[in-house]
Amino acid sequence: MILTVTLNAALDITYRVPRLRPHRTNRITEVSERPGGKGVNVARVLAALGHRTVATGFAGGGTGDALRALLAETAVTDALVPVGGATRRTVAVVDATTGDTTQLNEPGPTVSPAEWDTFLGTYHELLGEARAVALCGSLPPGVPVDVYARLTRAARTAGVPVLLDTSGEPLRRGLAARPDLAKPNADELAALTGSTEPLRAARDTRRRGAHAVAASLGPDGMLAVTADGAWQATPPRRFAGNPTGAGDSAVAGLLSGLVEELPWPARLARAVALSAATVRAPAAGEFDRTTYEELLGGVVVTASRTDLGIDK
pLDDT tens digits for range 130-160: 999 999 999 999 899 999 999 999 999 999 9
Question: Is it the case that residue 307 has pLDDT exceeding 50?
Answer: no
pLDDT in the model for residue 283: 65
pLDDT at 287: 86
Give me the pLDDT at residue 267, please.
95
Mean model confidence pLDDT for the chain:
91
- pLDDT at residue 309 is higher than 60: no
pLDDT of residue 194: 93
Q: Is the pLDDT of residue 116 over 60?
A: yes
pLDDT single digits (tens) 152-191: 999 999 999 999 999 999 999 999 999 999 999 999 999 9
Rounded mean pLDDT of 231-238? 86
> What average pLDDT does the segment 80-100 reach?
91
pLDDT at 306: 40
pLDDT at 298 over 90: no
What pLDDT is recorded for position 238? 73
Q: Quick one: pLDDT band at residue 286, thresholds 50, 70, 90?
A: confident
| pTM of the shown model | 0.90
Residues designated catalytic: 248
Percent of residues, the chain, with pLDDT higher than 90? 75
Q: What is the mean pLDDT of residues 281-286?
A: 68
Q: What pLDDT score was predicted for residue 223? A: 95
Three-state SS letters, the chain: CEEEEECCCEEEEEEEECCCCCCCCCCCCEEEEEEECHHHHHHHHHHHCCCCEEEEEEECHHHHHHHHHHHCCCCCEEEEEECCCCCEEEEEEEECCCCCEEEEECCCCCCCHHHHHHHHHHHHHHHCCCCEEEEECCCCCCCCCCHHHHHHHHHHHCCCCEEEECCHHHHHHHHCCCCCEECCEHHHHHHHHCCCCHHHHHHHHHHCCCCCEEEECHHHCEEEEECCEEEEEECCCCCCCCCCCHHHHHHHHHHHHHHCCCCHHHHHHHHHHHHHHHHCCCCCCCCCHHHHHHHHCCCEEEECCCCCCCCC
| pLDDT reported for residue 58 | 97
pLDDT of residue 304: 61
Question: What confidence score (pLDDT) does residue 312 get?
Answer: 41
